[in-house]
Structure 1
Amino acid sequence: MSWVVLVLSGVLESVWAAALTRSEGFTRLWPSVLFGVALAFSMAGLGWSLRTIPLGTGYAVWVGIGVVGTAAFGIVALHEPLTVARMLCLVAIVGGIVGLKLTSP
């Protein structure tokens, strides 16, 4: 169950990062509210999952999911460029996340 919560918390990290950019410096109400709620649940889930998942593994997986999700949001919603180099880097991050999961006690 800790891994499910950790993955969901990583997804919420992407949500709060996307809401942060949409809040335009906290001048827009609903993106700002979404930011706060997603941030709180993301951190709470990370903290809960670290009770049974080693810190280095849990934090790296959480950040990695957030990085990949946020980059995907940027590419799809914000029309940031998708280059071969960026794609290879994202694939490497996903590979690292999977590797950490597979080698975690």
Structure 2
Amino acid sequence: MAWISLFIAGLFEVVWAFSMKQSAGFTKLGPTVVTIVAMIVSFVLLAWSMRTLPLGTAYTVWTGIGAVGAFVVGAAMLGEPLTPMRVAAAVLIVSGLVLMKLSS
């Protein structure tokens, strides 16, 4: 259950990163509210998963899901570039996440 909670926490990290971008520096109310709510949910789920999982594993997986998720959302929804080096970096992050999961 801790892994499921951690995965969902990572997805909420992607939501708050995207909505923060959409908030235009917290000048738009709707995206600002979504950012704050998604942050709280993400942190609560991360904290809950840390009751069972090691700190290093939980935090690394959480940030990795957020980083790769934000990269994918940025490319898919915001038209950010998909250069070979950026894709390679995302692949390396995912590889690290798989290794962290396998080592726990």
Query: Shorter-chain TM-score: what band?
Result: over 0.9
Q: 2:88 matched to 1:88?
A: yes
Gaps of 5+ in 1: none
After TM superposition, list the pairs within 5 Å mapping 1:30-69 onto structure 2: 30-69=30-69
Q: Structure 1, residues 38-92: CA drift from partner, whole Å, max 9, x if none?
A: 0000000000000000000000000000000001111111111101111111011
Moved over 4 A (4+): none
Identity %: 48
What one-letter code is carried by the residue in structure 2 that aligns with 1:36? I
Q: Structure 1, residues 24-43: CA drift from partner, whole Å, max 9, x if none?
A: 11111110111011000000
3-state DSSP of counterpart to 1:53: coil
Gaps of 5+ in 2: none
Aligned counterpart, 2:73:
73
* Aligned-partner Cα distance in 1 for 2:88–2:11: 20
3-state DSSP of counterpart to 1:26: coil
Structure 1 vs Structure 2 CA RMSD: 0.6
Q: 2:100 matched to 1:100?
A: yes
* Aligned-partner Cα distance in 1 for 2:75–2:25: 21
